[in-house]
Structure 1
Amino acid sequence: MSPTPLSVLDLSPVPSGGTVGDALRNTVDLARRAEQFGYRRYWLAEHHFAAGVASAAPAVLIGQVAAATSALRVGSGAVQLGHQTALAVVEQFGTLDALFPGRIDLGLGRSGQRRVEAVRELAAGGPEPAHRAGPQVVDGLLIPAPFSFAKLLTSPRFALYSALLQQPGAESPDFADQVGDILALLRGEYRDESGLDAHAVPGEGADLQVWLLGSSGGQSAQLAGALGLPFAANYHVSPATVLEAVRAYRAAFRPSAALAEPYVVVSADVVVAAKNETARELAAPYGLWVRGIRTGQGAIPFPSPEQAAGYEWSAEERELVADRVATQFVGAPATVAAKLRVLRDVTGADELLVTTITHEHAARVDSYALLAKEWFG
């Protein structure tokens, strides 16, 4: 029996003391190595206003990675639809498919729309949804208590960033409507309400594999199932809700021309080294990096282990990052592979999406190499 496929999610991390150029060149290098190691696909994230993340324009970076590899599938994890029109997305990825036919994945996310909705709900005084009181362990997999983004969503800096990501006065359409428009444009079947047609060139007829990504059992998971599209669930972003996400997707699934059965990818934060102790040292800065994100500062340049060792944590700060730190898989190859098998078995994942950040690029490459060797044999 073939092992479960492994794939890569890359944020193009910028290390402390490094540059954006370093980070982007490291991404291209890692993609070449990942292809050699046997990873199935290589996805680029979309993040904005983060000094420690260089992957802000996934379509541009996908072209660079695809040009540097030969068989690896390359895609977005994910395009944030709240910031772009359906036509722009189809033209960008249609261009990529024309240059690298049959190798491009179009991953779509609704984070832009969801942020707007959440801010409106909070402004209206709506209560946050009831959450589980504490963590659970499900067949060996830690499912922590959910993290509340309420404080982050109402910060002035968050409002500034949201405004800069859209044209003045623009409103994000419904996610399902945008996905429907993208699929119609790709098929050459787009019509407006009056019946007038429009055709995307490039884009129409592109051989893209369309994915939806989601962190909960909400609209993304349900829509992916209803449309018969593959779905990626984010254990690394929202470990508390990964099980509800995959359940909602499977419950909503209807066979389509794309898929006869549900297909789920589940992500995980991973750091692998030859020894458990070394891996823990490499992963030590991760909590500081998450702290930057969750305080509204944004992802900081990834600290070195020495910088992390010198930071004095408050109890409140440790609580802020506890769920993400506790669900990062860190250790020697056999240790991490065992944890990934638990994640696969509990979620029923058909494929695992591994994201690894370390201060030194060489350590990140080694992490992916060691995991692949252990996983694929």
Structure 2
Amino acid sequence: MDGRTAGGLRIPAPFSYEKLLASPRFALHKKLLTQPGAQPQPYDEQIADIQALLNGSYVTQDGIEAHVVPGEGADLQLWILGSSAGISAQVAGAGGLRFAANYHVSPATVLEAAEAYRAAFVPSAELARPYVSVSADVVVAEDEATARELATGYGLWVHSIRSLAGAIRFPSPAEARTHAWTQDERDLVADRVETQFTGSPRQVADQLEVLRDATGADELVITTITHDHADRVRSYELLAEEWRRR
């Protein structure tokens, strides 16, 4: 597999959306979700509008006020989610906001996203220094073999999303093993599958510490998905116990 490691963290080759963006299914999605002739508002303006609505200072150029109920004056933290060094990271940094870097969906670009955010950061009333959370997909069980068995359906589930077919019900290990993979299908999900943290509590916690240290994360956002809900709950319990022990 192509890619590299950074401080022991697996950074796969960047995923290319070129084929998906050229697919008839993507064209259909765009047609259904976009009004004819509609132009998106610049992202930094969207964030500024949200902030103004929350703090009660939204006024149009014509002097017309707008208020959100409920919401105005709410005591909440505004976070920006980003998968690259692009506009999300830059807006979050320039606005002195908290930033969530996306390792579990876009592992190839997590480092550049966090770096771009920190480079753009300007202290604000909200934050004196940059604050980053980083996401990870994990499956934890009593031993590595069991965890890998529980994660068997992950690639098939990711494929259903990335192919734009729509997320399927997460398959059981037995159901997932019946799928005859093509090389194109494997390529579509390779970066996600190889960066999922799967194993015993100790193994996964070790990997999460590597992720934390490589990205300089202030906190981690953990996602676990399995076929059976009880296995998912147990995964969180085992990881929490190990993390607390450390």
Query: What range describes the TM-score normalised by the shorter chain of this pair?
Result: over 0.9
- Stretches of 4+ aligned residues off by more than 4 angstroms: 166-169
Which residue of the partner structure matches residue 17 of structure 2? Answer: 149
Give the deviation of 1:314 after TM superposition. 1.9
Give the deviation of 1:169 after TM superposition. 4.3
CA deviations on 1:288-336 (whole Å, 9 max, x unpaired) are: 1112222221222111100112222222222221111100000000000
Would you say 1:301 and 2:181 are equivalent positions? no
**Which residue identity is paired with 1:372?**
A
Give the deviation of 1:162 after TM superposition. 2.8
Match of 1:271 among 131, 139, 152: 139
Distance 2:73 2:33 in 1: 29
Distance 1:320 1:187 in 2: 43
Would you say 1:326 and 2:194 are equivalent positions? yes
Distance 2:159 2:69 in 1: 43
CA deviations on 1:278-297 (whole Å, 9 max, x unpaired) are: 00000011111112222221
Distance 1:302 1:169 in 2: 37
Which residue of the partner structure matches residue 116 of structure 2? Answer: 248
What SS is found at the alignment partner of 2:78? strand
Would you say 1:282 and 2:150 are equivalent positions? yes
What SS is found at the alignment partner of 2:92? helix
**Which residue identity is paired with 2:41?**
P
Residues 63-212 of structure 1: pairs in structure 2 closer than 5 A: 134-212=2-80
Give the deviation of 1:203 after TM superposition. 2.0
- For structure 1, the residue ranges without an aligned partner over 5 or more in a row are 1-132
Give the deviation of 1:134 after TM superposition. 3.5
Which residue of the partner structure matches residue 206 of structure 2? Answer: 338
What SS is found at the alignment partner of 1:209? coil
- C-alpha RMSD of matched pairs (Å): 1.5
**Which residue identity is paired with 1:329?**
F
CA deviations on 1:344-377 (whole Å, 9 max, x unpaired) are: 0000000000011100000000000000000012
Give the deviation of 1:165 after TM superposition. 3.0
**Which residue identity is paired with 1:344?**
R
Per the normalisation by structure 2, the TM-score is 0.95
**Which residue identity is paired with 1:139?**
G
Give the deviation of 1:172 after TM superposition. 2.0
Number of equivalent positions: 245
Would you say 1:312 and 2:180 are equivalent positions? yes
Distance 2:31 2:237 in 1: 41
- For structure 2, the residue ranges without an aligned partner over 5 or more in a row are none
